[in-house]
Amino acid sequence: MRVLLVLPFLVALVAGATLDFNHYWNANEIDAYLDELATEFPTLASTVNVGTSSEGRRIRGLRVSKDNNNNRPLVIVEGGLRGREWISPMSINYMMHEIVEHYYEFEAILDNVNFLFVPLVNPDGYEFSRSSGNRLWLKSRSVNGNGCFGVDLNRNFGHLWNTVGGSNDPCSDSFVGTAAFSAPETAALRDLIQANAANLALYLSIQSAAQMVLYPFSHSATTNPANVGQLRSLANDVARTLINQHGRIFTSGGAGLLQPAASGSSIDFVAGTIQPQLVFTIETGGAGSYGYDVPESQMAEILSETTYGFLTLAEYVARN
């Protein structure tokens, strides 16, 4: 596997700006990077319009398909569901940087697997967390009334929505929304997943920062997919890969077992409705005062670490 070194890499954008992986990018910079990759690597990458956020920001993705062959097994990687988890979209930016800009290092994967990356599902919450002084803002920014805003997008997906672990209080951080997929962000992601369900082999959600590798189901500690043995074994492999990078301790297991049970997650929707063989969440390494607020000085090793975990999964799909 390619040795991932983050610090020296600069991303030169068409507009003349230079992005690096030593600071957090804003939503517009993430969006521009998708265009840059599609422009520079037209036989490998193309942009995808996913939808529009509550405040009118674009939600976009990048499809990676060698020679535009759409018949390979597909891996969907999604992130940025929660505003405060800045390291999540940055991790996916770095995954795209590796798999596209250094495609020649990953021919064995790209010959056998296609990818669809959606780095920032919640651009409104992300930008509000960045600019409002409320660094720990979690939700989207839909107007709920009575001075309350936003939905916890990872409680708004449709499988067993609003059965456990969420709140019906529009002011709560865990507000589940008014109905399954009531948030335009989750509805847009649902439509994208369903449109690509035929070839979907692996769905991966990148979140932060509990240092875990999780498989469904989030809503229960005792309900598991039929292939739980396969999921458990692969989750253990990914956790070992992550631990081997910088010594951080990662745990692996069922999402509803290792975390408080909560319905309406993206992985439960995919596992319970679309039912591809492989569905996981990687909870990245954490740092800072709350785990979510990773200092820029510590970003580099978390980005490379998380990407190694992603590549472990991608290689598994390519081999199988």
Q: Which residues contact 138 (CB under 8 A, 6 or more apart)?
A: 82, 83, 84, 125, 150, 152, 173
Q: Give the torsion through C-alpha atoms of 285, 121, 83, 95, to 10 deg.
A: 30
Among residues 285, 301, 297, which one has the least CA distance to residue 22? 297
DSSP letter (8 states) at residue 263: S
Residues catalogued as catalytic: 283
Lookup result for tokens 């920001």: 57
- CA 299 – CA 320 distance, rounded (Å): 32
Helical H runs in 63-201? 87-96, 107-110, 123-131, 184-195
